[in-house]
Amino acid sequence: MDLGIAGKRALVCASSKGLGRGCAEALAEAGVDLVMNARGSEALEQAAAEIRAKYKVTVDAVAADITTETGRAAVLAKGPFDILVTNAGGPPPGLWSDWSREDFIKALDANMLTPIALMQAVLPGMIAQGWGRVVNITSVSVKAPIAVLGLSNSARAGLTGFVAGTARQVAGKGVTINNLLPGIHATDRAIALDGAVVKARGISMEEAIAERAATIPAGRYGTAAEFGATCAFLCSQHAGFIVGQNVLLDGGATNTTL
Ligand code: NAP
């Protein structure tokens, strides 16, 4: 399917690895020029070079912490953008009684206020040109809480509320905003969480992965490529009537009818 977005320009945040990289790859395959971002410049430059070589699109790499004002200013200076994919690392796991005000502020900054600030920066340009696509990478924890990820549950719920109202305010201008909710995907983040289980329970990594995969009706972890393809579709010309949705990509793990 031709996604109809060749020649558009996208900012894909936190995209040297994992789900962000999957989104960058799928958009590049559709002919979209990219600004890619991550904190570490080595992996970022390598990812940018691989995507440039494979898909023949323009890729600017901006090494910066997207959760800081200066980091956001550095990536936004590469605009204007037709497409925005927001993403950042997730907050650390813990117990409800562990977290201080500072921990909450950090999580809110990274996973709620940063995507909101990015949307506030790019939406006026998208509205002015009558076309834009925003996809926020959030989490399955928005639909079904993950007890040890209370910081994520809280911050991402706040972002979801902002998107629900804002998406409906900009839809009439040709701009769509939707959220993609990953369940378990085979990325460094998932492997780090499995590593914690290995340590705590004294089992092997293979056992930890097999146990977790068995909790997913699809019987496996998702891939960054599948995730990216869904993101690219939401950014396509065909998805203009999909507004303010929370699209779950979890292999059926969340046991709900709707
Ligand atoms: P990942 O494999 O660890 O990759 C994270 C990417 O983001 C890397 O490129 C990393 O590069 C970059 N990054 C992290 N913090 C950043 C920051 N402050 N500024 C700029 N770049 C940053 O993670 P992932 O699995 O793709 O997860 C992406 C998001 O989805 C996270 O918020 C995660 O919590 C959420 N999620 C993931 C899963 C899953 O199963 N994978 C499930 C639910 C939710 P640098 O480290 O060099 O900055």
Quick check: helix, strand or coil at residue 245?
A: coil
Residue 24, both tokens: 């960058």
Residue 44 is predicted with a pLDDT of 98
| Cα separation, 253 vs 213, whole angstroms | 10
| Cα separation, 249 vs 32, whole angstroms | 23
From 189, 220, 249, the mutation candidate for ligand 1 (largest count of ligand atoms within 8 A of CB) is: 189
Share of the chain above pLDDT 90, in %: 95
Our CA dihedral for 189, 195, 200, 203, rounded to 10 degrees, sits at 140
Helical spans, DSSP H, in the chain: 18-29, 41-55, 69-76, 101-108, 114-129, 150-170, 188-201, 205-213, 224-234
Residue 136 Cβ contacting ligand 1 at under 6 Å: no
From 13, 16, 19, the mutation candidate for ligand 1 (largest count of ligand atoms within 8 A of CB) is: 19
Quick check: helix, strand or coil at residue 30?
A: coil
pLDDT tier, 241 (very low <50, low <70, confident <90, very high otherwise)? very high
Residue 191 is predicted with a pLDDT of 86
Residue 57 is predicted with a pLDDT of 98
Residue 92 Cβ contacting ligand 1 at under 6 Å: no
pTM of the model: 0.97
- Read off the pLDDT of residues 166-188 as tens digits, 9 standing for 90 and up: 999 999 999 999 999 999 999 98
CA of 38 to the centre of ligand 1 (A): 9
Residue 178 Cβ contacting ligand 1 at under 6 Å: no
Residue 192 is predicted with a pLDDT of 86
Question: How would you classify residue 236: left for phi > 0, otherwise alpha for psi between -120 and 50, otherwise beta?
Answer: beta
Flag whether pLDDT at 189 surpasses 90.
no
Flag whether pLDDT at 251 surpasses 90.
yes
Residue 179 Cβ contacting ligand 1 at under 6 Å: no
**Between 101-108 and 150-170, two packed helices, what is the crossing angle to 10 degrees?**
40
Decide if 249 contacts 137 (C-beta within 8 A): no
Flag whether pLDDT at 196 surpasses 90.
no
pLDDT tier, 70 (very low <50, low <70, confident <90, very high otherwise)? very high
Average pLDDT over residues 89-113: 95
Q: Which atom of ligand 1 is nearest to the CA of 16?
A: 9
CA of 89 to the centre of ligand 1 (A): 4
Residue 218 is predicted with a pLDDT of 98
Residue 42 Cβ contacting ligand 1 at under 6 Å: no
- Taken as a whole, the chain contains a residue count of 258
Please report which helix (H) or strand (E) contains residue 122, including its range.
Answer: helix 114-129
Q: Which atom of ligand 1 is nearest to the CA of 67?
A: 18
- Read off the pLDDT of residues 126-180 as tens digits, 9 standing for 90 and up: 999 999 999 999 999 999 999 999 999 999 999 999 999 999 999 999 999 999 9
Flag whether pLDDT at 115 surpasses 90.
yes
Residue 118 Cβ contacting ligand 1 at under 6 Å: no
How does DSSP classify residue 185?
Answer: B
- Read off the pLDDT of residues 4-41 as tens digits, 9 standing for 90 and up: 999 999 999 999 999 999 999 999 999 999 999 999 99
Taking CA atoms only, the protein residue closest to ligand 1 atom 23 is 189
Residue 251 Cβ contacting ligand 1 at under 6 Å: no
CA of 189 to the centre of ligand 1 (A): 7
- Read off the pLDDT of residues 203-235 as tens digits, 9 standing for 90 and up: 999 999 999 999 999 999 999 999 999 999 999
Residue 77, both tokens: 């200076």
Average pLDDT over residues 184-195: 89
Residue 144, both tokens: 């079904």
Flag whether pLDDT at 190 surpasses 90.
no
Distances (CA, A) of 177 to 28, 94, 174, 183, 231: 20, 31, 10, 20, 11
Distances (CA, A) of 227 to 109, 142, 233: 24, 17, 10
Place of tokens 């009558």: 130
Residue 92, both tokens: 């650390």
Cis-peptide, bond into residue 80, ω within 30° of zero: yes
